[in-house]
């Protein structure tokens, strides 16, 4: 027999029958406290200073390294992303553009002026007829 009482017995003795209803589990302790979260938001808002930070835009890995340097807290990129989503920040990625892209033709296509000329290949046409 265990010398330690069951957790449910301890809860029942402390709070009565209502304590037997399972509540939400407390979960893991947050990796960042409120002051660290506020500092993270402030550094994102102010943006990096190239002379000091050595970068021109923040990446998640850069922010994770900054948190480690400032607060000695080891977090991964997923945690930084999750912490930044809570106050409403989203990761924006610029789409790459080809250096010879014709912007006028692109805009005309978006407006529907240039309709794509779709044709069935002869092979697909013959397979469909069988």
Q: Please report the pLDDT score of residue 43 as a whole number.
A: 94
Please list the pLDDT of the chain residue by residue as tens digits (130 residues): 555 567 778 877 888 877 777 767 778 888 999 999 999 999 999 989 888 888 888 999 999 999 999 999 999 999 999 999 999 888 877 777 777 778 888 787 777 765 555 555 666 555 656 6
Query: How buried is 62 (Cβ within 10 angstroms: 0-12 exposed, 13-18 middle, 19+ buried)?
Result: middle
Distance of CA 102 to the CA centre of its chain: 33
Q: Please report the pLDDT score of residue 129 as a whole number.
A: 61
Closest CA to 20 of 30, 10, 32, 35: 10
Q: What is the pLDDT of residues 52-83, one digit of tens each?
A: 888 888 999 999 999 999 999 999 999 999 99
Q: Please report the pLDDT score of residue 55 as a whole number.
A: 87
Query: How buried is 92 (Cβ within 10 angstroms: 0-12 exposed, 13-18 middle, 19+ buried)?
Result: exposed
The number of residues in the chain equals 130
DSSP 67-110: HHHHH-----HHHHHHHHHTTT-----PPP--TT--HHHHHHHH
- Residue 71 burial (CB count, 10 A): 15
Put simply, whether the predicted model's pTM sits higher than 0.85 gets the answer: no
């Amino acid at each position: 027999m265990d010398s330690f009482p069951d957790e449910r017995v301890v809860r029942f003795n402390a709070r009565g029958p209502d304590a037997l209803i399972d509540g939400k589990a407390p979960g893991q302790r947050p990796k960042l406290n409120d002051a660290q979260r506020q500092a993270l938001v402030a550094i994102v808002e102010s943006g990096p200073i190239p002379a000091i930070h050595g970068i021109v835009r923040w990446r998640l890995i850069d922010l994770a390294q900054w948190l480690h340097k400032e607060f000695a807290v080891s977090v991964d990129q997923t945690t930084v992303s999750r912490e930044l989503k809570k106050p409403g920040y989203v990761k924006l990625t610029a789409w790459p553009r080809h250096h010879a892209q014709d912007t006028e033709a692109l805009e005309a296509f978006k407006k529907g002026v240039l309709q794509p000329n779709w044709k069935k290949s002869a092979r697909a046409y013959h397979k469909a007829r069988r």
